[in-house]
Amino acid sequence: MNRNDIRKAVESGKTVLGIEFGSTRIKAMLIGEDHKPIASGSHEWENQYKNGVWTYGLDDVWTGLKEAYQELASEVLENYGTPLKTIGAIGFSGMMHGYMAFDKEGNLLVPFRTWRNTITGQAAEELTDLFQFNIPQRWSIAHLYQAILNKEPHVADIHFLNTLAGYVHWQLTGQKVLGIGEASGMFPIDSTTNNYDEGKIEQFNERLEAKNISWKLQDILPGVLMAGDNAGALTEEGAKLLDPTGQLQAGIPLCPPEGDAGTGMVATNSVAQRTGNVSAGTSVFAMIVLEKALSKLYPEIDMVTTPAGKPVAMVHSNNCTSDLNAWVGLFQEFTNDLGVEIDQSKLFEMLYQKALTGDADAGGLLAYNYVSGEHLTHLEEGRPLFVRTPDSRFTLANFMRVNLFSSLGALKIGLDILFEQEKVTIDQVLGHGGFFKTEGVGQRFMAAAMNVPVSVMETAGEGGAWGMALLGAYMLYKADNEPLETYLSNKVFAGEKVATMAPDQQDIDGFTAFMERYKKGLVIERTAVDTLK
C-alpha cells in the first residue's frame, strides 16, 4: 500500500489495531487490509516485587496503554496527515495466566499476581492430582485455589476472575470474555466442546462446597470465545480510556482477547498440527501443536490450545534473557565509564556474535539465569549465578555463549520429554522474540538445543501485537468456515521470506555437554536459594 492508499484506509476504518501487554513493553500496532504494519507505538514498563508478589499496578496498565496508543496515533497523523478516528477492529493480548480477582462492584480485591509468581506450589500439586491434568503454578486456577488454601479473606468476596488481557477488554467493552487460548491458561479446556472442562469444574466446586464457599467456579470465570468470533464493541467509556483526546469513536468491534502464547503462534503461522514456535524474551516457551494427546500427565508440560482450539503442548520457562540483559547492561556501563559511545543494540549484536567464536561447550563455564523461580527445575525462587572452575576457559566468547545456553537450559529439560519420551514430530519450528534479534545467533543455539531446524521470518520481529492484529483481521475478513490456519497461510504468509538454520553437530555436542553440567550443578542453585535470602 502506498501513502495515499494508507491514508484512505485510515480515514475509512479499513485497519486493525492489536495491542499486547508484554512483560517489559506494551506495544500497539495498526495494520492495513494487506496485513502489513501502518504505525506502532509502545510504552516500557516493569513488574514490581511487593510483599513477596510480582505485580503491576492498575494505574500502570492504563498509563501504559494510553501512551502506547497515543504514540501510534501521533505516528499516523504525522506520516499520513489524518487523525485516527475509527478502526475496523481492535484486539488485546497480554501475559497469560496470573490472578485478577474482582468484587461485585468491579474493584480489584488484591494486587494483580502475575505469571511470574511461584507461590502456588501446594495448590498446583493438589489440583494436578485432583484433575489428573497438569496445573502449573502460574495458572489462574492455581492462584485461586492457593488463596482458598491460605484462607485469604478476599476469597468470600470474589465475583469475577480474569487475566490482564481479559480485564482490559472488559473495561473497554463491558464483555467478560476470553479467547480460548487465553482461557486455556486459566482452567483446563475440553477440546471436544471448546469450553471449560465441565467435569473438572464440578470437581473444583465440590472442593468449594467442602470449604463453605458460596459461589460456583463457572459463575466467576470469563466466557470462552473462538478466533473469528465477535467479542463486543468499544463503548463510549472505553473509547475515552483508550484515547482521552476524544478523537477515537465508540462502536468499533473487538475480537476475543488472547494470551501472548496465542499471538505468538499466529505471528509465526504456527497454528496447524505438526508446527511449533518458540517465543524467547523475558521468559521462553515452546508451543507444539499436537496430532494426538500425550500418553500421560507430565508436570513439566502444560496443555493449552491455539486460538482456534487445537490442543497444544507448551513448555514454559520463567527465565530467559533477563539475566543476559543485565550482563549486557554491565558492559554498557563499562563502555560509558570509558567514554566510548556505543548504541545498546549494537552492543547486543557485538556480544551475541562474539558467542559464536567460543568453544562448543562454552569452555566448561556454567550459568543459571534464574531471576525468579523455575518450575521446570523445581525451584521456588531464583538466584542468578555464574560459576567456573579454575581450569575453565574463561573468555568473553565463552562467557556470552554460556549465558545464551543458560537462557535455554530449563526449556531443554521440558522439550526432551516431548521429543524423546513422547516421540512428538514436527515439520517446522519458528522462532521469535528478542533472543533471535541478532541474526544467526539465538537461532543457531536454539537449533542445537532442539536438534531440529529453526526458522525465523522477516515478520517475526513484529511480535505479539501484530499477531493480535491478525486475529482482528481474521474476524473481519475471513470467508465462511475458513479455518484460521488456512487464512494465515493463504492471505498473510504466502510468499513470506523465511531464514532456516539446521542444527550443527558440533553445536549439538557442545550444548549436550553444557546440559550435563547444567543438570549436575542445579544443587548449587538450590543451595544459593536456601542460603542467600
Q: Is residue 157 part of a domain?
A: no
Over range 303-329, report the average pLDDT: 94
Number of domains into which the chain is organized = 1
Per-residue model confidence (pLDDT) at position 461: 58
Q: Is residue 48 part of a domain?
A: no
Contact 377, 121 (CB under 8 A): no
Examine the pLDDT at 100 and tell me if it is beyond 90: yes
Over range 299-304, report the average pLDDT: 90
Over range 117-144, report the average pLDDT: 95
Over range 424-442, report the average pLDDT: 89
Query: Which among 152, 161, 118 is positioned nearest to 138, based on CA atoms?
Result: 118
Over range 54-83, report the average pLDDT: 97
CB count within 10 Å of CB 245 equals: 12
DSSP string, 395-459: -HHHHHHHHHHHTTHHHHHHHHIIIIIS----SEEEEESGGG-STTTHHHHHHHHHTS-EEEEGG
Give residue 361's domain range: 322-406+506-531
pLDDT band at 433 (very low <50, low <70, confident <90, very high): confident
pLDDT band at 533 (very low <50, low <70, confident <90, very high): confident
Over range 4-14, report the average pLDDT: 95
Examine the pLDDT at 462 and tell me if it is beyond 70: no
Give the list of residues 6+ apart from residue 477 with CB closer than 8 angstroms, or none. Answer: 33, 487, 491
Helix (H, G, I), strand (E, B) or coil at 81: coil
- Which of the residue ranges 136-140, 165-169, 301-305 has the most confident prediction, judged by mean pLDDT? 165-169
Examine the pLDDT at 70 and tell me if it is beyond 70: yes
Q: Is residue 272 part of a domain?
A: no
Lowest pLDDT segment from 59-68, 74-83, 238-247, 496-505: 496-505
Per-residue model confidence (pLDDT) at position 471: 98
Q: Is residue 516 part of a domain?
A: yes
Could you tell me what percent of the chain has a pLDDT over 90?
Answer: 88
Over range 347-373, report the average pLDDT: 97
pLDDT band at 473 (very low <50, low <70, confident <90, very high): very high
More confident residue, 204 or 464: 204
Q: Is residue 68 part of a domain?
A: no
Verdict on whether the full-model pTM lies above 0.85: no
Q: Is residue 93 part of a domain?
A: no
Examine the pLDDT at 260 and tell me if it is beyond 70: yes
pLDDT band at 474 (very low <50, low <70, confident <90, very high): very high
Alpha carbons 140 and 101: distance in angstroms, whole number: 10
Q: Is residue 295 part of a domain?
A: no
Residues 509-518: tens digit of each pLDDT: 999 999 999 9
Over range 444-471, report the average pLDDT: 88
CB count within 10 Å of CB 389 equals: 9
- Output the nine-digit C-alpha cell for 26: 506494551
Over range 430-450, report the average pLDDT: 92
pLDDT, mean over the chain: 95
Q: Is residue 492 part of a domain?
A: no
Amino acid in the structure at residue 211? K
Alpha carbons 166 and 367: distance in angstroms, whole number: 37
Dihedrals φ, ψ of 92, to 5°? -115, 140
Over range 230-247, report the average pLDDT: 97
Per-residue model confidence (pLDDT) at position 185: 95
